[in-house]
Structure 1
Amino acid sequence: MPSPIPNEILSEIFSNLNFETENYFIPSQKDLFSCLLVNQQWCVNAIKVLWAEPMPVDKDRDMLRIYAKVIRMYLLSIDGQDKQQLIDYGHRFANSNSKNSRRFQKSLQILYGSKDYPTSQSAHVLNDLPTSQKSLLSSYTNTQSSHTLLFDYPSFLRYLDLDRLLLGIVHLINPRAKSRQFGDILIFQAILKMLAKRCKNLLSLVIDNQMEDSLTRFDDMFIMLNPEVLPLIYPIKETFITINFPINKIFLTLSCFCKHLEYIEITTIQQFNLQETDNSGIASLIVSQISLRTLVLRGSFQFLDQILYALPSQSASLKDLTFSCADFSECAPLHSIAACKNLRELRFWECYNLSDEICEPLVNCEFEKLRVIDLEETHSKILMEWKNKRENKEDNKLG
């Protein structure tokens, strides 16, 4: 009988079961569901990968149903106090007889014990799923008075997108809704508090409140600052933040509690008529890191120099630096980038106002490890000449 494949290798294989969309790769849930059915070892390892990112980025109808099922499973994991608060909240509005109130109460039925939510009826929770998917989303057994999960699903979470979490909650309460629902923020907060207790190895956090279809609002992000939620973000190594304008309190909080970020990507669309702000929070987030490897800045940043001056603090570790749609018109010469001697990849995508004076320190610096200079849609004669000179030098070495 052949030896079983080591768990580490299985996990690596399953983690790479992706399919490519227009702009990114997403986990292939169909393939992972198939892996659940092979044997017990494959099931255990596939479950961990599936629940590392249980809400893939696609927002089609089938995926929204999966989102709602994930929220149901998370509700099974919240502690007694938060569970009772949600139940009490539902009872408080029971007499309103509104559709939203009734939907909210129905979505919380799974929180009740056997008296109010008989175990004989529990099968309806996931009975509309294909058999293979029940292995992921209904892997629990009924006891005399409660549900017992076969796996500690929240502990497997690695990638958390706040907007997708809210989307799953909204779809759970009312599958036809496209906007915020009655009581959704209470469920949102209760789940985040539960995850903070159960998920100890969160890798990536996505905060997005500026897209047209985004459900997260400005105030929602401050739920992350709740002392009972903060432990969730301590271990993250990646953060993707898309906002209308830099919110210093968010970035300052991350800089205080997240010191091990290796990848930071910030996208901003400045609303100068609504909010005058600076970038001191982003600068503090950069400076506070122990070993930042990749920094991606997309959009228009007022007071860009504040961010640039923070870069030398990461000169030993910073390998990949990208600017996209950035305006360098009011920037000082780029000595700060020149100080990052270990850069391997440097990109200026659709950037403008990169004058000769601003670029001079950069083009006169020797970057021994720099291998990629990408100037897509960036029209700077001095940078283009610098790029061509370096490429010719590399070609001569190879020749």
Structure 2
Amino acid sequence: MSSRLPNECYQQIFSNVQDTKTLFSIIQVNHTWCENAIIFLWKNPFRKEIDYNHTKIIPVLLSFLKKDKNTFFDYPSFITHLDFDNLFRITSKFYDNNENEVEYFMGLMEQDDTLPSIFSKLEYDKWPGFGQIWVIILLILVNMARRRANIQWFKFDIRYNDIKGFLSNNGKENDDVEYFYVDDERIVGSNVEMRYNIVNKIENIITTFLNLDDFNESKNFFENLEYLELDRSSFKVAILEAFSMCKNLKTVEIEHPFFQLILRPLVSLIKNQNNLENIIIYGVHNAYMADYHDAIFEIISSLNTAAHSLKRIEICGIKMMNDETFKFIGNCKNLEVLKLEDSYVSIKNFEWIALAEFSKLRSLELVYNWSNKEYVSQFNPIQMILQNKSISLNLKSLHLLNTYIKNHNLLKSISENCRNLINFTTQLTADDDIKYLFNILGNNPNIKEFQLLNPGYPMNLSTGFIIDLVKAFPKKTDYIRLVHIVNNLDEFIKFLENCMVDLKFLYVVVSTNNDINEFGECVKRWSEERKKKIKKLDIFSIPSDKKILVRWE
């Protein structure tokens, strides 16, 4: 029987399928399923889960160069997500393994007089390999623009592994080592100047495309962009300036070691947005650099222009010394998520947060931050925030791990004001914290995920405490992380024996004087007794501590 469902129904169903393999299977069922699912398969052809060895998509996207070539679907027009770094990886792999095809497409390009004039002027053969890759990517972007691809998501994150083959030593040093960052300190033996030159040339593909004089389609290519992510490897100034036409970004995620170098274009981009919802800023601690503090103040305070629409603010690795940095935050009436990590936050800036009325705030994450030494030795500034009931009463997720700041009366304030926590993370810094911890667990019966850390302050964490702790877990708790809370195997056994919740995940870190293998055997016996099937069991031994991670079905 032929299906009579309208295409809109199929598309509504298939739009919920995220797995690439499942989408591949769907398009092979019949023609109707194929024509309605193919748009979702090609929505993000450069997604990370697609193996970059899968290079067949490159000739498909270059097929427009063939005058007599007709493809069954208009694939480039389906693309909405452009993961540029994965496009570069796939194209590089295509070049390495398909020399004849590359030569063929280069020949077609030279014969195509409908292309922007820049293609007739390119001397790509002066840099064998990289030059051809550069041209292929530019051709793909031009084809996408011609076919009216509606790009809504863009990410640029070139890593060292992507470019090491183009360095003067051809990447032969430490070829078996994976580099996940591009900091100079992590790249032994590479030519740093050449590396940045290569990254600059890769970034130049984007800016060249956006500034083609005789190709108006490129000017509007990113006009509907909603997500922009620029990670540490790029220089960003040119890209940020090129993206200045974007007015409707909902998410900006940016990482840079020297924000003072990109101050003007970044602030301009932020101020140009109509409804920015999410801002994620990652930096490194280089406050000794000239103009750092002024740049950080100007960048963060510029968020005031988007205060009406901001829902998420995440800041990591930043020193916020200027006391007026967070003055704007009280205007963020729609804020749902606030995260500050590995950052210096002045006391006054904590006060600005504490004075705000965040009736919609659901998640507060303050981890590994520090502040004025004289002040935090007497008082925990985060306590001010939790004493604000317009913030604390509605929180669902609360993560507080600031090892450089003692709790003082922080847990007392949480126990008095928080009643709706689902995810809770904290540390213990004194024996007085324990009674308030139990009060928190008792006052929040919906806690599902619980994490507790002992950062090393002198305390009496006995076997009795372990037994009382496990008995205090709310019935819904099924995810537990304990870091230096359990001291030995006997306490671990007591923990399991008294555990009445249906654990799905357990992560325990203990000192190095324990035999972590015994912990693993203990978990196996306990799981068998409780008729719980282990899905994953990993044990780790590193110089600083030992760990066990367990997942149950």
Same fold (TM over 0.5): yes
Residue 298 (1) aligns with residue 298 (2):
no
Report how far residue 200 of structure 1 moved.
3.6
Residues 18-53 of structure 1: per-residue CA shift (max 9 Å, x gap): 3xxxxxxxxx22211110122222101221111111
| 2:228 counterpart residue number | 239
- Backbone CA RMSD of aligned residues: 2.9
SS in structure 2 at match of 1:57: coil
**Residue 41 (structure 1) aligned to one of 24, 32, 39:** 32
SS in structure 2 at match of 1:147: coil
Letter in 1 for 2:160: E
Residue 10 (1) aligns with residue 10 (2):
yes
CA distance in 2, matches of 1:158, 1:366: 37
CA distance in 2, matches of 1:396, 1:334: 24
| 1:249 counterpart residue number | 238
Cα distance change on mapping 1:299 and 1:217 into 2, 3 Å: same
CA distance in 1, matches of 2:23, 2:296: 44
Aligned length: 313
Cα distance change on mapping 1:223 and 1:217 into 2, 3 Å: farther
CA distance in 2, matches of 1:387, 1:41: 55
| 1:220 counterpart residue number | 202
CA distance in 1, matches of 2:318, 2:211: 33
What are the ranges of 5 or more consecutive residues in structure 1 without an aligned counterpart? Answer: 19-27, 78-82, 84-110, 114-145
Report how far residue 397 of structure 1 moved.
7.6
CA distance in 1, matches of 2:321, 2:419: 36
SS in structure 2 at match of 1:214: helix
Report how far residue 267 of structure 1 moved.
1.6
| 1:373 counterpart residue number | 364
CA distance in 2, matches of 1:39, 1:245: 43
| 1:69 counterpart residue number | 56
SS in structure 1 at match of 2:160: coil
Cα distance change on mapping 1:175 and 1:335 into 2, 3 Å: same
SS in structure 2 at match of 1:261: coil
What are the ranges of 5 or more consecutive residues in structure 2 without an aligned counterpart? Answer: 100-127, 164-197, 286-291, 372-379, 395-416, 421-442, 444-553
Letter in 1 for 2:296: L
More contact order relative to length (CA 8 Å, sep ≥ 6): 1
CA distance in 2, matches of 1:288, 1:176: 43
Is the 1:208–1:214 Cα contact (8 Å) retained in structure 2? no
Max radius of gyration: which structure?
Answer: 2
Letter in 1 for 2:276: L
Letter in 1 for 2:53: R
| 1:183 counterpart residue number | 132
CA distance in 2, matches of 1:181, 1:334: 45
| 2:83 counterpart residue number | 161
TM-score (norm 2): 0.52
Residues 311-358 of structure 1: per-residue CA shift (max 9 Å, x gap): 11112111111112222135634102222222121111222x212123
TM-score (norm 1): 0.70
Residue 387 (1) aligns with residue 379 (2):
no
Residues 204-230 of structure 1: per-residue CA shift (max 9 Å, x gap): 011223x22234721332224323333
Report how far residue 253 of structure 1 moved.
2.3
| 1:325 counterpart residue number | 317
Cα distance change on mapping 1:332 and 1:362 into 2, 3 Å: same
Report how far residue 188 of structure 1 moved.
1.5
| 1:128 counterpart residue number | none
